Structure 1
Amino acid sequence: MSDSSSSHLRQWPTAIRALAYRNFQIYFAGQGISTLGKWVQQVALAWLAYHLTGSAVLLGLITFLSLAPQLLIGPVAGAWIDRHDKRRLLIIVQMVLVMQSAVLAAATWLHWVDGPFIAGMALLLGLLNALETPLRQALIGSFVDDPADLPNALVLNAMLINAARFVGPPLAGALIALAGEAACFALTAVAFLALLGGLLKVRGTASPKASGSTAQVFREGLAYMWQTRSVRQLLINVIMVNLLASCYAALLPILAKAVFDGDAQVLGWLWGAAGAGAFLATLALAVGGALPRLRQFTDAGALLCAIGLAGLWFAQALPLALLALAVLGFGITLSNVSTNMQLQSGAPSHLRGRVIAFYIAMRFGFEALGGMAAGLIAARWGAPATLGIAGVVLMLGLLGQYGLRRRA
């Protein structure tokens, strides 16, 4: 790196230093608009499903179908991604996402939507996300010239996603009340175009492509993660947090309508509360998330997840539920993002795509399983009790994991 480049970097505050790179600035802007649209679509799709059918099982199924492909094909997709041009692949996937949202908008506007159609669109979205999410994550490193700034780029990306998570759901609730779900889906299609435009403009540093067949590349990545003890421990934590804590997302329409007697706007507030907590977690990581302390952040986040789930179990009033969701959103994001930072910073560059894909597979795949299970349990015992059960099981799992680490 030249002296002039180093001087330019020093002019940026440490908490946002990755934004000194022009390529990351362009990606960051497009990603912000795209993620906002994605959250608007997610809230609108969940509300449309529950509004049309009143089925808790369908809500769980939608969560499962939109996330499960990342568990089933995500790890193999990571090996495939490492053998190809990541930027070009992401451009193609982004084009298909634009078309998916446009079709969903048109079908909703024409009243062609029913339960099976919504489930099919959720499955298509899940398949696309199984490629899009690891591609986006793996490309971030190519937009910053100094590997030392990669952790900051990752936390800024997470901050952006969670800021959209804070703003998007209330925006979706207001837009649904004003113009209906079709308008939300149309807005998402336009928002996806922003990231597509950014990807066409940036020219990141090309990462080395893995050699060998996809099966060989997959086995190489799997061996690295299995043989690296710290990576194994982090992935176990990811499984527990997202199986048991992230399941809350599937039950929010039930909490909004059946528990708090609200409408789409109340659903937006619930989503927004969790998003606010998540955004604060990324701020905490941006300011204090130095690599040596990240494992402490991961453990603290998992503990806060259990506390947030217990709070939702006992919350009888909407303000208390909003507070519990803020704690839950803070905990999930603190745990997941600090884990991602540790995994990416420690992984060799030629293995990064596979490591990211495995992390994302665990992150979203087990959220899918948790959402499906939560929908089935809530249909029998109700949403608050389901969340309480998840909190108790998570706390027991964390205690067991802590005991194993102490004995190791």
Structure 2
Amino acid sequence: MDFSHAWRALRHRNFRLFFSGQSISLIGTWMTRIATAWLVYRLTHSAVLLGTVGFVGQIPTFLLAPFAGVWADRLNRRTVLVWTQGLAMVQSLMLAVLTLTHRITIPEILALAVFQGMINAFDMPARQAFMVQMVESRNDLQNAIAINSSMVNLARLIGPSLAGIIIAASSEGYCFLIDGLSYIAVIVSLLLMRIHAVEKKSERASMVEQLREGWSYVSEFVPVRSILTLFAILSLMGWPFVVLMPIFAAKVLHGGPNTMGFLMGAVGVGALVSALVLVVRKSVRGLTSIIPIAAVIFGCGLIAFGFSRTMWLSMILMLFTGYGMMQGLTASNTVIQTLVDEKMRGRVMSYYTAAFVGMAPFGSLLAGFLAHWMGAPYTVIFSGSVCILGGLWFWSQLPAIRRDMRPVYERLGIVAPREPAVAEEAAR
């Protein structure tokens, strides 16, 4: 079988630079996520505070992402990314200094989490909208998104495992320090890119008017609306299982930071396999059917994980959980990026960010309180059940989704205009 097409997006110089710089930076990012969770749990042993830190770190993204999307459509996206990466480096280095000097407190962790959430609110829509400028050819966009997902999940595999080793050997502060220094790589890669300037029309519309225009586009276009609704459900109920990992590692599986690192590493392996499966795809055709199936796999993985009490079984279940999570995430991102009009890209991706990241703070807070009330295992069992119901709901919406996707696919040449049967099958 010929897999020469699998890495075709890397023929674009700008995307190669992004891939190399981001690969280094993302390892540091995942180290910080694990180190922060373990630091909070070490200081407090509180499920509620684990959820609270997740809430305050992500609520700014929910509140600011729509405004950031307007700016992503107005401003130079590379410039926005250079600024967000520089500020993220400052945030990580501040965490490192405070932790290594033993001055870190929960209020300081909360404040720096809010700062990072504000940065992410502007970084994520700009990054998603910038993708199409890096690969130039829209035919390679799906491949670029799949490769990017592979990169994220390779980092998810390496970062948590490395963080667990470093925390067990020394301190969480060194994870924060490595993360801070890793941002240098992605900043340099952005500065080395040769980007064709996209002419930005002077906008006479106000911020409120552009926000309204973006909301109308998202809420009235059935495929995007349905995907973002499912995303919001999964983000609220499913993805916050990560904030409960210290509890599973310490109390359920009777381990330490290494145990948490291995569990998150297993999620990364499953997600990486999922992303690589999507890398070898030649077309966006067939992705809409993958989305609800992935949600069901994700939910089943969470339910079974909640019942597990042995390390080896929990790691296997985390493989399936990571696989389902990433299949849905990457397929959804690809479909949206393919369908959306360029002039609306920043705003649409800001709502994507709000659904993907913005609902997570409410989920983190809910997961923390539910875990305090009924325990972490029953919390993820309940969460997984909701994810399965969300996947089944999306499946029921597929006829309407395919109907609205067809004209766009015809315009892009993905399906032939005069072959309705083929077009119908292509949207599946």
TM-score when normalising by structure 1? 0.94
| Aligned-partner Cα distance in 2 for 1:217–1:311 | 44
For residue 272 of structure 1, the aligned residue among 265, 284, 287 is: 265
Aligned residue in 2 for 1:106: 97
Find 1:305's aligned residue among 295, 298, 303. Answer: 298
8 Å contact from structure 1 (residues 281, 331) kept in 2: yes
1:251 to 2:244 alignment: yes
Tell me the equivalent position of 2:107: 116
Residue 172 of structure 2 corresponds to which residue in structure 1?
181
Deviation per CA, 1:110-157, whole angstroms, max 9, x where unpaired? 111121111111111111111111222211111112111111111111
Question: What is the alpha-carbon distance in structure 2 between the residues aligned to residue 407 and residue 341 of structure 1?
Answer: 19
| Partners of 2:222 and 2:400 within 8 A in 1 | no
Residue 262 of structure 1 is matched in structure 2 by: 255
Contact 2:300 2:385 in 1 (8 A): no
Instruction: Give identity over the alignment, percent.
Output: 34
> In the alignment, does 2:195 pair up with 1:204?
yes
Tell me if structure 2 keeps the 8 A contact 1:245–1:332.
no
2:52 is the alignment partner of 1:51: no
Q: CA deviation at 1:387?
A: 0.4
What is the number of equivalent residue pairs in this alignment?
Answer: 398
Q: Does residue 348 of the first structure (1) align with residue 338 of the second (2)?
A: no
Which whole-Å CA distance do the structure 1 matches of 2:282 and 2:103 have between them?
Answer: 48
Which whole-Å CA distance do the structure 2 matches of 1:249 and 1:71 have between them?
19
CA distance in 1, matches of 2:320, 2:377: 16
The worse-fitting range, judged by mean Cα deviation, of 27-36 and 213-222 is 213-222
| Partner SS for 1:151 | helix
Cα offset for 1:37? 0.6
Question: 1:12-60 CA deviation, whole Å, 9 max, x = no partner?
Answer: 9211101001111111100111111100111001100001110101111
Cα distance in 2 for residues equivalent to 1:91 and 1:298: 32
Contact 1:67 1:126 in 2 (8 A): yes
Cross-structure match for 1:364: 357
Aligned alpha-carbon RMSD (Å): 1.7
Residue 5 of structure 2 contacts residue 282 of structure 2 at CA under 8 Å; is this kept in 1?
no
Determine if contact 1:158/1:337 at 8 Å carries over to the other structure: yes
Shift of 1:232: 1.0
Report 1:320-399 matches (<5 A). Answer: 320-399=313-392
Corresponding residue SS for 1:204 = coil
Q: Contact between 1:64 and 1:372, CA under 8 Å: does it hold in 2? A: yes
Q: Distance in 2 between matches of 1:54 and 1:267?
A: 15
8 Å CA contact retained: 1:144, 1:150:
yes
Q: 1:247 to 1:159 in 2, by over 3 A?
A: same
CA distance in 1, matches of 2:112, 2:328: 30
Gap change, CA 1:153 and 1:400, over 3 Å in 2:
closer
Residue 237 of structure 1 and its aligned partner are, at CA, apart by: 1.3
Match of 2:74, SS state, is: coil
Aligned to 1:61: 52
Aligned amino acid, residue 166 of structure 1: L
Q: How does 1:80-99 map to 2 (within 5 A)?
A: 80-99=71-90
Q: Deviations over 1:181-215 (max 9, x none)?
A: 11111100110111011111112233343523222
- Alpha-carbon distance between aligned partners in 1 of 2:270 and 2:197, rounded to the nearest angstrom: 35
Cα offset for 1:258? 1.1
Question: Equivalents in 2 of 1:319, 1:82: separation in Å?
Answer: 47
Partner in structure 2 of residue 191 of structure 1? 182
**Any unmatched runs of 5+ in structure 2?**
402-428
Residue 216 of structure 1 pairs with residue 209 of structure 2: yes
CA distance in 2, matches of 1:99, 1:31: 17
Letter in 1 for 2:32: Q
State how far apart, in whole Å, the 2-side matches of 1:343 and 1:337 are: 10
Unaligned runs of 5+ in 1: 1-10
- String of CA shifts for 1:152-183, please: whole Å, max 9, x gaps: 11111111011100110000001112231111
CA separation of 1:208/1:384 partners in 2, compared to 1, >3 Å: closer, same or farther?
farther
> Residue 179 and residue 131 in structure 1: after superposition, are their counterparts in 2 closer, same or farther (change >3 A)?
same
Q: Is the 8 A contact 1:65 1:122 kept in 2?
A: yes
Go from structure 1 to structure 2 and tell me whether the alpha carbon gap of 1:13 and 1:171 turns closer, same or farther (over 3 Å shift): same
Aligned residues of 2:302 and 2:384 also touching (Cα < 8 A):
yes
CA distance in 1, matches of 2:181, 2:260: 23
- Measured in 2, the distance between the counterparts of 1:399 and 1:161 equals 27
1:157 to 148, 151, 158: 148
Q: Does 1:294 align with 2:287?
A: yes
What CA distance in whole angstroms lies between the structure 2 residues aligned with 1:320 and 1:12? 33
> Is the CA contact (8 Å cut-off) linking 1:207 and 1:350 kept in structure 2?
no
128-137 vs 338-347, which deviates more?
A: 128-137
Contact residue 295 and residue 390 of structure 2 kept, 8 A? no
How far apart, in 2, do the equivalents of 1:38 and 1:69 lie?
Answer: 18
Higher mean alpha-carbon deviation, 36-45 vs 177-186, is at 177-186
**Alignment check: 8 A CA contact 1:208 1:350 kept:** no
Q: Conserved in 2, the CA contact under 8 Å of 1:12 and 1:20?
A: no
1:137 counterpart SS class: helix
Letter in 2 for 1:310: I
